[in-house]
Amino acid sequence: MTGAPSIERTAGTPPFSSSKLSVLRKHPYFADLEPDAFDQLCRYAKHVTLKRGTTIFSKGDPGTSLIAVISGTVKISISSPEGRNAILNLIEAGEIFGEIALLDGLSRTADAIANSNCELFVIDRREFIPFVRSQPALAMKFIELLCTRLRRTSDQVEQVILQDLPGRLASALLRLSDKHKSEPQGRTISITQQEISEMVGMTRESINKQLRAWAARGWVRLEHGAIVVLKPETLQALVDAGANVGE
């Protein structure tokens, strides 16, 4: 993997556009900040552009920053010494990551890699922690965020232990597509079959076979580098039933 990128803002960088800053302003954890507090937060943000495949941080690195995605997708993953990969999450535009190590001051728990060309805001821990201490409501929102992360991790462990392939795959597709539920032509997930296989812990061949069976039924549509969820209610019924329905 390539080294972690420089996150220092260069001299003469123009002010951020309102469209970029809206990533922070619209995020539920910053939306209620008073204007002065939000302006202060923006002064801490450093703008970074990365090429696809760039390592943002690696497992074990110091947790020195909070990161918001302006555009693109970031892959959160872990790997074994034998080279096996497991994808824990895909972070898209409008989302933040890196908060666990940021808040407890310990090392990163996973790798973060640009899954496409990305634009990011990076906020240094040395500035962010005093800022959170001055904003008690924001501190509570981050507690809520950590609880959400813990619940999602518990769900993923439950899926791996208790569900078969259809249930695990359906759960993953629903989780990834939830942020696109307002799209009228189906929920499009920018993910390859190899990536989804690394997320649910099954071979690419098994994933392809199951997806093709669902595509034949009109539950999903397969596109190059993407999966479109057409019948989320059917996939949810599969999950709710304990994933006992096979192909």
Q: How far is CA 214 from the centre of its chain?
A: 25
**Burial of 240 (C-beta count, 10 Å sphere; 0-12/13-18/19+):** exposed
Residue pLDDT, tens place only, 135-187: 888 888 888 888 887 887 777 777 666 677 888 899 899 988 887 666 666 78
SS3 state of residue 201? coil
CATH topology of domain 163-240: Arc Repressor Mutant, subunit A (1.10.10)
CA 70/CA 91 separation, integer angstroms: 10
Q: Give the per-residue pLDDT at 145.
A: 80
CA 163/CA 240 separation, integer angstroms: 11
In this structure, the dihedral spanned by the alpha carbons of residues 113, 108, 145 and 31, taken in order and rounded to 10 degrees, is -60
CA 172/CA 159 separation, integer angstroms: 9
pLDDT, tens digit only, all 247 positions of the chain: 444 444 444 333 445 667 778 888 888 888 888 999 999 999 999 999 999 999 999 999 999 999 999 999 999 999 888 888 899 889 999 999 998 888 888 899 999 999 999 999 999 999 999 999 998 888 888 888 888 878 877 777 776 666 778 888 998 999 888 876 666 667 899 899 999 999 888 899 999 999 999 999 999 999 988 999 999 999 998 888 764 444 4
Q: Give the per-residue pLDDT at 162.
A: 66
The boundaries of every CATH 1.10.10.10 domain in the chain are 163-240
The boundaries of every CATH 2.60.120.10 domain in the chain are 18-158
18-158 has which CATH code? Answer: 2.60.120.10
Q: Give the per-residue pLDDT at 244.
A: 46
- Axis-axis angle for helices 125-133, 35-44 (nearest 10): 160
How many C-beta atoms surround the C-beta of residue 182 within 10 A? 6
φ and ψ at residue 230, rounded to 5 degrees: -100, -30
> Which residues neighbour 231 within 8 Å (Cβ) at sequence distance 6 or greater?
218, 219, 220
CA dihedral over 25, 97, 222, 162, signed as positive or negative:
negative
Q: What is the DSSP track for 14-27?
A: PPPPHHHHHHHHHS
